[in-house]
Chains A and B, each alone.
Chain A
């Protein structure tokens, strides 16, 4: 896939599926881990699969099973998991200029995860309007099904899988940073955006290493945005 091309060599949904394939390297190992941990926390295979199908948000699912297993009050479990997902509120508005008024977009918002947002934010502007819903459907459904399938696999045979092929957990997840890199690097086309992107990435990395993985993304994004505002009128960094 060319990140600057406008035309599609295949049907939109097939192109969406193709573009989303790198996501699987990150999704499936994490989903297998979730399936395994959920079973170990006392949930059944069916319950585990339903959690992945309907909540469909990695970090909050892990928190949900961990807090539920520890006997935390359920109202607190609900609040904490929703707080983790609060960063999602900026995704839909950012994509809305590229989406038409088709009502099918409403159920498709269920698939708007971090990774699908990153992919769609880079790809939708390059696609003709008529191809966008098909492209998004292909990408989002593949990601969703892979998350459910990975969870089921982890719930049924997670322990055996990770013992036999430990590299599944060690190597494939690198597909995610590689994907985010190729999605964000075209944005670094002037000094202002390069500094903004660099600060956001370094802040997020630092926060995660310090043990704050859940606030790392929104807080780092906010830091980057503040830097952008602070520097945007400075001649030395150039405009955007």
Chain B
């Protein structure tokens, strides 16, 4: 890589880090300031809604299989149902994911 490419790499790395860091620092200071002023340090409601909806959106995008054919979609559906079914019984994290991946793999391999 030449110097300009290294500069681009450093800019992206620093910029990405700051995108993660600065909003956190801002919110931390904002909450501390509200507490100092005698109020209850609470996050804006829109932000508490945006957190779960971001995770739900990640779930939605991750469902789209790499190969968009009928078998991949069937495997995705079966894997999702098995993950959900095991979760409703165990209310845990590891086992539902493992069972979901195995179910997804079985359908992919068999069909």
Contacts and interface: CB of A to CB of B under 8 A. Distances in A.
Interface of A: 1-4, 18-19, 21-22, 25-26, 43-44, 47, 50-51, 54-57, 60, 64, 68, 74, 77-78, 81-82, 85-97, 99, 101, 105-106, 109-110, 112, 114-115, 117-118, 121-122, 167, 169-185, 187, 193, 196-198, 200-209, 213, 216-218, 220-225, 228-229
- Looking at A101, A182, A193, the one whose CB has the most chain B CB atoms below 10 A away is A182
Given A97-B31, A224-B56, A225-B46, A178 B97 contact: yes
Is chain B's binding surface mostly helix, strand, loop or mixed?
helix
A151 B67 CA distance: 22
A99 B100 CA distance: 32
A94 B58 contact: no
Q: Which range holds the interface residue count of chain B?
A: 35 or more
Nearest to A18: B94
A82 B104 CA distance: 34
B5 interface: yes
Given A93-B43, A173-B66, A82 B76 contact: no
Nearest to A76: B8
Contacts, number: 277
A24 B64 CA distance: 18
B19 A82 contact: yes
Interface of B: 1, 4-5, 7-13, 15-17, 19-28, 31, 41-43, 46-64, 66-68, 75-76, 79-80, 83-84, 87, 91-94, 96-97, 100-101, 104-105, 108-109
B96 A180 contact: no
A87 B61 CA distance: 14
Given A74-B4, A109-B17, A182-B83, A3 B93 contact: yes
Nearest to A56: B16
Contacts of B92: 1-3, 182
A89 B19 contact: yes
30 contacts: A1-B93, A78-B11, A81-B15, A85-B16, A88-B16, A88-B19, A88-B20, A90-B50, A91-B23, A92-B23, A99-B24, A117-B55, A171-B105, A172-B101, A177-B59, A177-B80, A178-B80, A178-B101, A179-B93, A181-B87, A197-B56, A200-B53, A201-B56, A204-B59, A205-B63, A217-B58, A218-B57, A220-B56, A220-B60, A222-B53
A87 B49 CA distance: 14
B83 A121 contact: no
A201 to B, nearest CB: 4
Given A3-B93, A177-B59, A184-B52, 7 more contacts: A55-B16, A64-B8, A97-B31, A170-B108, A171-B101, A175-B101, A183-B93
